[in-house]
Amino acid sequence: MGEAPLDLSIITVVYDEATVKAADGLLKSVFRSHFDGLFEMILVSNGAPDDVLRPISDGYDWLRILRSDRNLGYAGGNNWGMLRSRGRLVLLLNPDIVVEPDALARLVEFVDSHPDIAGATGKLLGDDGKVQVGFNVRGLPTFMAVVFDALLFHRAFAWTGLFRHYLGRDFDYSKAQRAEQPAGACLLVRREIIDQVGVMDESFFPVWYEDVDWCMRMRSYQRELWFTPDAVFHHSGAVSTKDWTKDSATLAKYRNFAYFCKKHFGGPLSILVIISIAIGMLLRSGFVLLGMLLRKDLSKSVKNFGVGGSRAALKGYMKVLWLCVRAKL
């Protein structure tokens, strides 16, 4: 006899000690969940050392671990997990997620009760207990939105309809509704959608914009993603990138941003995006330099760098600008 079919496959990706420690909290919360269906939990290790993984592997005998000797990236790790999973539904969860006891059951029930949708996300609460507005659900990028974002207009004109939609600030988190771009940190997708659309694009490396691209591709197949407020998850955020240097993070993010624009907006428009990124780097650098002259850290005003990140922020902006000038971004 073959293996029993599974209702749900849960996939999370780790690559270092911090993400493994975070995943321990996720696994505890999954174990305590009130989900009655048959499920599997898959942890993909993107090169995490064996001694770091040992507490997880020894402590959870029901956990499947896929081990890679290198970092496959966020897309690559999740893809490996999806391709090796057996559930009719696949749930991607970041390792720094904690599942409310009834969240899995409610999210699966919601998708099962809406057979025409591709999948769904739940409500993500930060450490402050508030909905993570601007992250949980956003609008899919348009050409104008990404150009204005690159030029820092999203800071000065955040109140406009364009940016309120793009940044998810008009989204009503009290009711179930269509969600253009749910965060990949918590995304439940039907197996047949993965078979139809394909897995994530691993050219987005190591992280950023792979989930946006995936949602865009699902929409191109006329398949909708939804949000339900009844499934609640807690998300600390940025555990995978908090130890990165600021310049490395900036470079990785804008490389993927540029690739996304080339892929979805085509050659001529993507050239305009690259020009906008170059101008935006000059503007951001100007703010940071002004702050250094005033002995005040203004880097947080242009990007979410903490106090003391001015020099690293400036270094990252200059790297991106140089790539734009050389047409290498």
The model's pLDDT over 61-70, given as tens digits with 9 standing for 90+, comes to: 999 999 999 9
CA distance 233 to 123: 6
How many residues are there in the chain? Answer: 329
DSSP code per residue over 233-289:
EEE---TTTTTS-HHHHHHHHHHHHHHHHHHHHHHHHHHHHHHHHHHHHHHHHHHHH
- Residue 290's pLDDT band, with cuts at 50, 70 and 90, is confident
Q: Which residues pair with 14 in a beta bridge?
A: 45
Residue 324 reports pLDDT greater than 80: yes
- Residue 306's pLDDT band, with cuts at 50, 70 and 90, is very low
The model's pLDDT over 74-89, given as tens digits with 9 standing for 90+, comes to: 999 999 999 999 999 9
Mean pLDDT of 89-116: 98
Mean pLDDT of 295-316: 65
The angle at the Cα of 140, spanning 325 to 268, to the nearest 5 degrees, equals: 35
Residue 1 reports pLDDT greater than 50: no
The angle at the Cα of 167, spanning 226 to 153, to the nearest 5 degrees, equals: 160
pTM: 0.93
CB atoms within 10 A of CB 44: 25
What ranges make up the beta strands (E) of 94-200? 97-99, 119-125, 137-138, 177-178, 181-182, 186-190
Q: Which residues pair with 119 in a beta bridge?
A: 189, 225
Which run of H or E residues covers position 184?
A: none
Q: Output phi, psi for 205, to 5 deg.
A: -135, 140
CA distance 41 to 26: 11
pLDDT of residue 296: 67
The model's pLDDT over 36-50, given as tens digits with 9 standing for 90+, comes to: 999 999 999 999 999
Residue 305 reports pLDDT greater than 60: no
What ranges make up the beta strands (E) of 105-185? 119-125, 137-138, 177-178, 181-182
Give the percent of the chain with pLDDT over 90: 81
Residue 310 reports pLDDT greater than 90: no
Domains defined along the chain, listed by start: 6-136+171-235 (3.90.550.10), 246-325 (no CATH)
pLDDT of residue 309: 72
CA distance 244 to 247: 8
6 or 4: which carries more pLDDT confidence?
6
List the structure tokens of 268.
């001529």
Average confidence score pLDDT of the chain: 92
Give the percent of the chain with pLDDT over 70: 95
Residue 326 reports pLDDT greater than 60: yes
Residue 258 reports pLDDT greater than 50: yes
Nearest to 112 by CA among 172, 179, 186, 37: 37
List the structure tokens of 78.
């999740």
DSSP-based three-state secondary structure for 222: coil
Residue 146 reports pLDDT greater than 90: yes
